[in-house]
Amino acid sequence: MGTIQEFAVLRFDARAEVSPRGDIVDAVAAGVNFLGEELEASYSEIERKVADRTAELDVMTHELTRRTLHDELTGLPNRTLFWDRLSHRMSLADRRHSCFAVILVDIDKFKETNDTLGHAVGDELLIDVAMRIRSVLRVGDSSARMSGDEFLVLLDDVGSPEAALVLASRLNAALREPYEMGPDRRSITTSMGVAVGPEGFAEADAMVAAADAAMYEAKQRGPGQCVLYSEIGRN
């Protein structure tokens, strides 16, 4: 590249008296100048192609990063990104005095939907559930698809466990509204487990495990239930 640039800026203004030797000098100067112009044009084309390729690589890198950290079906963040966000929120516990909460959402009898209506309808249901979860969340909250029919929600700022339950109930109500499933409109229920931090949780794995345990307790109590982890064993 450097050599091309050096040749590209060469310009010769040599002039000689009219003679056979002078004609040779003029021809050489014209040839060198022509070569410089061609090299300059070639270099500009190379610069353009490099810039275009760099832009393409930036887009590809961004898309690869997005796919690495997001669920392909629903577009929600995946486990990896959710764990990162939850870990970051937990690291701020000493500086922020408000509580935060993790909600684990599981669609009740989702396997029956897949078995009776087909996987395509099941996928559409998962997409619709993801959209409804997004619509309910506040600024600063996060959501993710954990796996299968399980979703995670991070409530960034809640005043108390009771406040976390109120937000979970609002989410539960939104998810109960009927869905288009094939030719029909049907409702679903979800079981939810809620873990409120920061007390008692040293890392993200422990907090999600607590929300998972609360969700299974909710399932034991019947469809559409929501249980706080701190209340397990009290009833």
Side-chain-side CA neighbours of 80 within 13 Å: the count stands at: 7
* Element of type H or E holding 21: helix 20-69
* Residue 116 tokens, joined: 């009776």
Query: Hey, which residues are catalytic here?
Result: 149
* Element of type H or E holding 12: none
Q: To 5 degrees, how large is the angle CA 77–CA 83–CA 87?
A: 135
CA atoms of 104 and 145, how far apart (whole Å):
10
Pairing of strands 99-107, 142-147: unpaired
CA atoms of 103 and 101, how far apart (whole Å):
7
